Structure 1
């Protein structure tokens, strides 16, 4: 009975962490829409002019969609990670806080992409975008490493195969995002394509059997 009460207390603690994290993810993903601005027409108003201005803002729609999808998948990954976690400690809390700090920063490079993707400085904008997600991926690896190290924070009976699969998938993102970062200066479109492929990869790999 003592052990059951202790387990319940730890689960409640991680529940608060998840609730706080969910709120941060929700705010970050909502702020993305502010990068999609309504075009301002000059008189005389014409449908053709409005349509043309809306089409010209395609980088804003692209940046919004990619960042929205990426944050959504990051939240799902975060949720799935916490399904395996039994308790927390100070280092785990700090690692989670660092991850959330980076998540709140996503709207900034998203706006850079929206404004500068079709300009000569698109490479810099895409490099900052890919660079941020490189660091975010490192933060996920740090958070996961703290949880699985010596199994100190995991629930009992988590399959070793699942741990290995998750670890491999998290590590795979680091070189891929670095590749997107390097391509940004040579071909920004390829860089954004790599970032898009990666969120598709995370979406697929997050559909795993429950532990």
Structure 2
């Protein structure tokens, strides 16, 4: 199998994940703005989750451009990442429908933490295909965002039982940190192609 097939499959799964999330919305009864206020928690959780799925799609796309040889290990690690991301619609819906109750908010963080760990495992497996002093390995190894994000997820999970809004602050903070596309891989690919 070529890498572009795995990327196309992943793109399809991520598109379905976003579609499932938006299908969770039910049309409110009434014909004015007031019924929409009941949907605010769902809209907020959807917006954050949409950003997360978009961030993963963007970074996954760049990451797969660094793959030399597709192996069974890489395919399984990619599927592990997609597994955790496929749970985002469920945890998003539960968190939004519960008005950010403690357990659904904590579960949301657990899903995001496991997705982050899965992405890191995939990234490390891809890095092993390159020389330890290559521009790609040096660029991916300096991954401050990847190192700090799991810490914020752990803080978010822990604070969900103290104050759900503090927990959500950490989720939004990680999304903001990652919202700007990661240019390290693009720069490394340009250097290695010279």
Q: The TM-score by the shorter chain falls in which range? A: 0.7 to 0.9
Assess, with a 3 A threshold, how the Cα gap between structure 1 residues 172 and 102 changes in structure 2: closer, same or farther.
same
Instruction: Give the conservation status (yes or no) of the 8 Å contact 1:39–1:54.
Output: yes
Deviation at 1:22, TM superposition (A): 0.6
C-alpha distance 200-189 of structure 1, shift in aligned 2 (>3 A):
same
Q: Work out which of the two has the higher radius of gyration on C-alpha atoms and give 1 or 2.
A: 1
Larger mean Cα displacement after TM superposition, 103-112 or 198-207 = 198-207
Report matched runs for 1:1-211 at 5 Å. Answer: 13-41=2-30, 47=31, 50-117=32-99, 122-149=101-128, 151=130, 157-166=134-143, 168-204=144-180, 206-208=182-184, 209-211=186-188
Per the normalisation by structure 1, the TM-score is: 0.81
| Normalised TM-score (structure 2) | 0.88
Q: How big is the shift at 1:31?
A: 1.1
- Partner SS for 2:69: coil
Deviation at 1:158, TM superposition (A): 3.2
Could you list the runs of 5+ residues in structure 1 that have no partner in the other structure?
Answer: 1-11, 42-46
**1-side partners of 2:187 and 2:12: how far apart?**
24
Q: Note the alpha carbon deviations across 1:127-149, whole angstroms, 9 max, x for none.
A: 01011101000101111111113
Q: How far off is 1:204 after superposition?
A: 2.3
Counterparts of 1:139 and 1:80 in 2: how far apart (Å)?
Answer: 16
Structure 1 residue runs of 4+, over 4 Å off?
Answer: none
